[in-house]
Amino acid sequence: MRNSGGIVSRIIKLLSAGAVEPGLVKVVEAFRRETGNDVNVVFATAPAIRKRLGEGDAADVVIAPTDLLDELVKAGNAQAAERVIVGRIGVGVMVRGGAPLPKIATVDDAESIVHNQASTGIYLQGLFERLGIAEQLAAKTTRYPDFAPVLDHISKGKGAEIGLGATTVIIEAEAKGLKFVGPLPSEIQNYTTYGATVVTAGAARHAAQALVCYLISSGAKAIFSAAGVE
């Protein structure tokens, strides 16, 4: 495929964690404009990315938590030298738009706690167990595979539902009926670090390498930072 300038372009298959979507969409748009390479992006949770890759799903670039990228390197599907760090994302608290703002440090007044089953949800489950409140919260905790149904649950709620998720997607969803209360307190905060790597067996290797390099350019970093990716 050639762009209007006669330069051969490639379609890059990008499999990415959903937490970076608010910034990544804009970064990919800029990359397309500047290079002429198209990018086909599929967003999924980390467990879903692991499953897709395990089932042979084709990808040129993967953006995911660094522990998942470690697995790719160990399996010979990526090279450590081709990995870059995109940034880190913390856990935030949300309520329905117009609902009273809860005290972030307590969950006693919440009618229900809603979060996902991805990286954020895995951390939260462990946190509740460490705090000794897992059993107390079990009856009023709802977990969904990803953020979309969490958003739907909270935005359409009627009572004192509290949602938890990646700060980036909560902030982006404020226009869809959510209110970002704030990040978890520092003493219980958890950051997930996201990296990007070229997949060894990818079909568009050179274009994929260009995209990975672009993700850490000054322009891309500014876009990610504005979206809440630290």
Band of pLDDT at residue 3, cut at 50, 70 and 90: very low
Q: Tell me: the pLDDT tens digits for 18-42? A: 999 999 999 999 999 999 899 999 9
The reported pLDDT for the residue numbered 107 is 52
The reported pLDDT for the residue numbered 2 is 44
Q: Tell me: the pLDDT tens digits for 186-200? A: 888 999 999 999 998
The reported pLDDT for the residue numbered 77 is 87
Measured CA to CA, the distance from residue 72 to residue 33 in angstroms comes to 30
Amino acid at 25: V
All domains in the chain, ordered by first residue? 11-88+193-226 (3.40.190.10), 91-188 (3.40.190.10)
Q: Tell me: the pLDDT tens digits for 102-155? A: 765 555 556 788 998 888 888 889 988 998 888 888 888 889 988 889 888 988
Average pLDDT score over the chain: 87
CA torsion 89→170→146→153, rounded to 10°?
A: 150
Band of pLDDT at residue 5, cut at 50, 70 and 90: very low
Question: What is the value of pTM for the model shown?
Answer: 0.81
Supply 198's token pair: 């070229």
Q: Tell me: the pLDDT tens digits for 44-55? A: 988 899 999 888
With beta carbons less than 8 A apart as the criterion, state whether 195 and 83 touch. yes
Q: How far is residue 145 from each of residues 36, 57, 114, measured CA to CA in Å?
A: 35, 19, 11
Q: Tell me: the pLDDT tens digits for 73-116? A: 998 888 988 899 999 999 999 998 888 777 655 555 567 889 98
The residue count of the chain comes to: 230
Supply 102's token pair: 């809860």
| CA dihedral sign, ordered 82, 193, 73, 47 | negative
Q: Between 228 and 111, where is the model more confident? A: 228
